[in-house]
Structure 1
């Protein structure tokens, strides 16, 4: 068995989490898989996987080697597809995506579902959190980011859509406490803040001098989009969220948009990914799918 095949087997062990699963996936015995991983370790003079009878753990060297192997194997497949005109095989493999948890359902789930209906051999690993993605340590293919603007970097950024911030409250809250008309009126209201952003516990305002932060004694600070949205819908106070995340509740009458004498910024929704000379075909196709069919709810629009 050549070295590329050994590398591919090692990648399957890492991706599937066990020698037995990789063996079953490849139609060979776990002993054969173990032997070829051991061959790589002997060639490198490094331990790639610590294993016992009950568990396995990828070493730091193993993580680095996996990332390099995966990129090399993906580039090889992409090169073969380019040379053959892209029709050599049906797209397959895993696409790893990181995204804000507020975009997971229904937006990204709908996109993944429609993509897999066309390409059933493509698998997805979707990680939802509000942290900034480290492409090296997390081995992510695509990160979806929401930002007023993105700084320049070595990464490729593709703008998918845009969505405005909207101030909302539950009908019951507004009936009981009235509807604020100005920014100053908010001092007499219970206001909720989403703390898991670069802005911290504040709301962004558009001014003649650029974006400034608006803060006050928050009735409640939350760091999870769905909980934040639920708290507002329960009538616990007024909150500011991207419209794409509350459009459904606005349409159902469970949240009411509030107009003030203040302007809130528009968020861009971006696909961010490492620059690669030979991008895996499955990733390229999914990026096109994102661009063409991204669920543009809540007033989101393509540029």
Structure 2
């Protein structure tokens, strides 16, 4: 294919130099490639001189055949690409924060395997917002506001609330806050975003006016963690008050290991999105996205 491509480029441009520019090759590279073709077939395709290059009689006969052969190869390559893109069977790579991976995606795996056994999931825990094409990743699940990355598109998966909570033994020692300002006298467990490196502020809304209230977390009060599951576990241990996604603490809340606080002051839910590359995605990636949207309650 390379030899025919070089021959066709020289025939159409009339020089090795121009052919090299078209193909991104050196002039000598083009010349040597065609020479190997001539030597392998014991045939002379080009008349070479210091000023011009022309086709021999054999070269004239080969020219239309070379064009037809290369068109056939291009069609075959396109067909392979379409078949690969549209095939349901294969691997889909998903990146998500470790907490979402552990509490949302992993519990869905038995159902996924039962419904779509032909698709293999490659799950990767990370909160970084990466270029999916560069990382060879099909989908990313991310929370909060997303900074636009050229060539990417975000689709809403769900909204989920954050809950202020603490263990009963902590509240027994330190008392129960009734308004956000009371938190200033408590030990707070901070959550640092791996994506931004910032300790997330706690957001509240006044129960009557809806006015927003933001609590900035001092990293010296108790502990700061960069994994939401670890924040929930720290709250259960009784070292302080935490502000965590509701999905992470549903079991401790039902078991009484954690007590919800400041429920009347709950702020706006946070958004979770599926991020994919622009343009057409493979059929199996589309099927995985549909599965996630159908089971969005597992993420809320």
Is TM > 0.5 for Structure 1 vs Structure 2? yes
Preserved CA contact (<8 Å) 1:170 1:233: yes
* Map 1:1-303 → 2, pairs under 5 A: 75-77=81-83, 81=86, 91-147=88-144, 149-153=145-149, 154-196=151-193, 198=196, 200-206=198-204, 212=214, 214-216=216-218, 217-259=220-262, 262-277=265-280, 279-296=281-298, 300=300
> By how many angstroms is 1:215 displaced?
2.7
Aligned-pair CA distance for 1:180: 0.6
- The 1:183–1:136 alpha-carbon spacing in structure 2 relative to 1, beyond 3 Å, is same
How many residues of Structure 1 are paired with residues of Structure 2 in the alignment? 220
Structure 1: tracts of 5 or more residues without a match: 4-71, 82-88
Corresponding residue SS for 2:182: helix
Secondary structure of 2:128's aligned partner: coil
Question: Is this contact kept in 2: 1:162–1:266, CA < 8 A?
Answer: yes
TM (norm. structure 2) is 0.65
Larger radius of gyration: 2
Structure 1 residue aligned with 2:56: none
Q: Which residue of 1 aligns with 2:71?
A: none
Contact 1:74 1:280 in 2 (8 A): no
* TM-score, normalised via structure 1 length: 0.64
Distance 1:265 1:200, change over 3 A: farther
Distance of 2:286 and 2:109 partners within structure 1: 14
Distance 2:174 2:80 in 1: 58
SS in 2 for 1:167: strand
Q: Secondary structure at the match of 1:144?
A: strand
Q: Unaligned 5+ residue runs, structure 2?
A: 3-77
Report which of the two has the higher share of helix. 2
Q: Does structure 2 conserve the Cα–Cα contact (< 8 Å) formed by 1:204 and 1:265?
A: no
Distance 2:198 2:132 in 1: 23
CA distance in 2, matches of 1:96, 1:124: 6
RMSD (Å), alpha carbons: 2.9
